[in-house]
Structure 1
Amino acid sequence: MSIQNPSDQEIKEILATNKRIAVVGLSDKPERTSYMVSEAMQKAGYDIIPVNPTADEILGVKAVSSLKDIDGEIDIVNVFRRSEYLPEVAKETAEVGAKVFWAQLGLESQEAFDILQEHGIISVMNRCIKVEHAKWK
């Protein structure tokens, strides 16, 4: 099945009901898009968990090396890694039982989409979570 994002109404519902976001590839540099987007989502009331093996803390939160290092449920896995890494992150998303996989603007992978579909995980690709959130706040 070709990549198909949820409808705008479904995206609104995803953002209204899922507040714990693991951000894969979150940079500790404030000038990077991943930092700015995650900071905005944090200020909007979302619980941001930085997934970055080279950082200790980002946005005042202890960083973890992988999704498997996160205690508790993960609602959304928001990915800021190049498209060729999406299948690997999709597999890990399925392993930890996250509800939603969200690949940022410019990122998509048919292979990752297929993995997510096999595991019943909602997937959003090539969309900015901050822009989508701004539509509905």
Structure 2
Amino acid sequence: MSVSDDIERLLKLRTVAMVGCSDDPRRPSNQVARYLIEVGYRVIPVNPNHAEILGEKCYPDLASIREPIEVVDVFRRSESAGEAVDQAIAAKAVGVWLQDGVRDPEAEARARANGLTVVADDCIMRQHLSRMGR
């Protein structure tokens, strides 16, 4: 599969667990979550410091979510991405999206080896806007 195919595959999925989602509307993670909700995605915020973000229950980690997760969108530093990827593998997610500037080649390889689709160092909102519009 090409990177473009991977992007298309993940954009078609509708449930996104957002690791590192912020309650601050000035933060990119909050802006991306808000956009995804507005265009019809189910966004599950993951942040141990909040009980709720954007009207959705917030979970401390992926293991605490008791519903199927399709995409894990990671808004964390590259050095923390591996933990989120390992949790995505354990949660049986379909794919992992590492946001702009986030790369962890070893974690990306682990995800692919476990059958997950991976997009790294890219923005899910920007790709949605460019491919599917609002």
Report the TM range for the smaller structure's normalisation.
Answer: over 0.9
In 2, Cα distance between equivalents of 1:125 and 1:74: 18
How many residue pairs get aligned? The number is 132
Aligned amino acid, residue 79 of structure 2: E
Counterpart contact for 2:6–2:117, Cα < 8 Å: no
Helix, strand or coil at the partner of 1:36: helix
Instruction: Tell me the equivalent position of 2:99.
Output: 104
In 2, Cα distance between equivalents of 1:10 and 1:106: 18
Describe the superposition over 1:6-42 as per-residue Cα deviations: whole angstroms up to 9, x where unpaired: 43244223212x1000000000111101000110011
Counterpart contact for 1:20–1:46, Cα < 8 Å: yes
Pick one of 35, 60, 63 that aligns with 1:65.
60
Instruction: Tell me the equivalent position of 1:7.
Output: 3
TM-score (normalizing by structure 2): 0.94
Root mean square deviation, CA, Å = 1.3
Pick one of 86, 90, 95 that aligns with 1:95.
90
Helix, strand or coil at the partner of 2:18: strand
Describe the superposition over 1:45-92 as per-residue Cα deviations: whole angstroms up to 9, x where unpaired: 000000000001101001000001111210100000000011111111
In 2, Cα distance between equivalents of 1:14 and 1:121: 10
Pick one of 31, 37, 55 that aligns with 1:36.
31
In 1, Cα distance between equivalents of 2:67 and 2:88: 13
In 2, Cα distance between equivalents of 1:37 and 1:95: 25
Aligned amino acid, residue 7 of structure 1: V
Helix, strand or coil at the partner of 1:35: helix
- Report the CA distance shift for 1:91/1:13 in structure 2 as closer, same or farther (over 3 A): closer
TM-score (normalizing by structure 1): 0.92
